[in-house]
Amino acid sequence: MTSKESTSLTSEQLLDAYRSMKTIREFEERVNVEFTNGNIPGFVHLYTGQEAVAVGACIHLNDQDYISSTHRGHGHCIAKGCDVHGMMLEIMAKQGGLCAGKGGSMHIADMDKGMLGANAIVGGGPPITVGAAMTCKAKGQQQVSLCFTGDGGSNQGTTFEAMNLAVVLKLPVIFVFENNGYGEGTHASYAVGSPDIASRSEAFGMPAEKVDGTDFLAVEQAMKRAIDRARNGEGPSTIECDVVRFHGHFVGDAQLYRGENEIQDVRRKKDCLANFRRDLSNDIQQDEFEKIDSDVSDLIEGAVSNAMDAPPPLDSELETDVYVSYQ
């Protein structure tokens, strides 16, 4: 447990953080229901349980900073400020979706918010993030570029190469490894050969920290240190966050590979939202939390009913936007 005294965040920022985490939680739980009801096509991967990481990182970023994400990207989108209505429209394959219904759950992006895309290729994001950091460095305006990937992504060659390149070019990158214990149905204790991921990053020549990813204040402080270093031109860093995945790899995953009481145990002991409310109970009034909970509930309900009523993309959209121009 980390105390409020240790954070530089204001009470207002802490309430914003709670709102963002709660929005992710409610969004994901509703997506789970709507997918099961047949209202969402394709594959969805839920971020529930990892909210403190996305929000703990993005609370120190602004719209001019960049992030890249993964197949489990809804939380990163919300934390970076993507419109929840636009996200739900996208996930339900409707007109007005953030990607016009062409991308779906695994490809949500919003260039105006510096959100460079969820990504259906494990390890697809790190090199892109390094490229965005080149832009940041070239512009010289103290922007930074942050890459979310996981224990699975930590084993990809693209990730290794991206880390080395970021060090070589001394770029303002933060590599965030959300170690939720599983790459699909294979445990990180089997698939990640080194004792941890942070030590790999150190071997590439950058500072690396490990934090409890279910402790929001611990996460945001580690992120602040790494982001400040990047903004000050001191190069890349890694933050490895130990987190838990409340759901399966995808919605519908029977999760036979998990231990008997594992899921209920992690939900009981490692719930970053419950821990946030507990840790800050002396600083934030219960009714303030409850007001946010109510607002979020209305927001998600509105996003779902709006998306359910929206029409699908026009058939004429099939062949648009392949290129900017093509003559």
Partner 1 sequence: MPTTTIREAINQTLFQEMSRDENVIVMGEDVAGGAGAEGIDDAYGGVFGVTKGLMPEFGRERVIDTPISESAFVGAAAGAAMTGLRPVVDLMFVDFLGVCFDQLYNQAAKFRYMFGGKAKTPMVLRAMIGGGLRGAAQHSQTLHNMVTMVPGLKVVMPSNAYDAKGLLAQAVRDDDPVVYLEHKCLYDDACEVPDDEFLIDFGEANFTREGDDVTVVALSAAVKTANAVADQLASKGVSVEVVDPRTTSPLDEEAILESVENTGRLVIIDEAPPRCSVARDIAAIVADKGFSDLRAPIKTVTCPHTPVPFAPNLEDLYLPSEARLAAAINEVLEQSK
- Interface ranges with partner 1 (CB under 8 A): 41-43, 93-94, 99, 101-107, 119-124, 152-153, 155-158, 182-193, 254-260, 262, 312-313, 315, 317-319, 322
Q: Which is nearer to partner 1, 138 or 256 (CB)?
A: 256
To partner 1, the closest distance from the beta carbon of 259 in angstroms equals 3
Sorted by sequence, the CB contacts under 8 Å of residue 151 that are 6+ apart come out as 177, 178, 179, 180, 181, 182, 183, 188, 191, 192, 197
To partner 1, the closest distance from the beta carbon of 249 in angstroms equals 9
Q: Which is nearer to partner 1, 153 or 235 (CB)?
A: 153
Q: Which is nearer to partner 1, 184 or 298 (CB)?
A: 184
Using alpha carbons, list the distances in angstroms from residue 29 to 46, 247, 325: 8, 10, 40
Q: Which is nearer to partner 1, 93 or 162 (CB)?
A: 93
Q: Which is nearer to partner 1, 42 or 233 (CB)?
A: 42
Task: Name the token pair of 26.
Answer: 């409610």
Contacts 24+ apart (CB under 8 A), 185-193: 185/249, 185/253, 185/255, 185/256, 185/257, 186/257, 187/257, 188/151, 188/152, 191/151, 191/152, 191/155, 192/151, 192/154, 192/155
* Helix or strand run (H / E) with residue 212: strand 208-212
To partner 1, the closest distance from the beta carbon of 85 in angstroms equals 17
To partner 1, the closest distance from the beta carbon of 183 in angstroms equals 5
Q: Which is nearer to partner 1, 1 or 256 (CB)?
A: 256
Q: CB-based burial of residue 232 (10 Å sphere; 0-12 exposed, 13-18 middle, 19+ buried)?
A: exposed
To partner 1, the closest distance from the beta carbon of 307 in angstroms equals 12
Cα–Cα dist 323/317, whole Å:
13
Cα–Cα dist 10/13, whole Å:
5
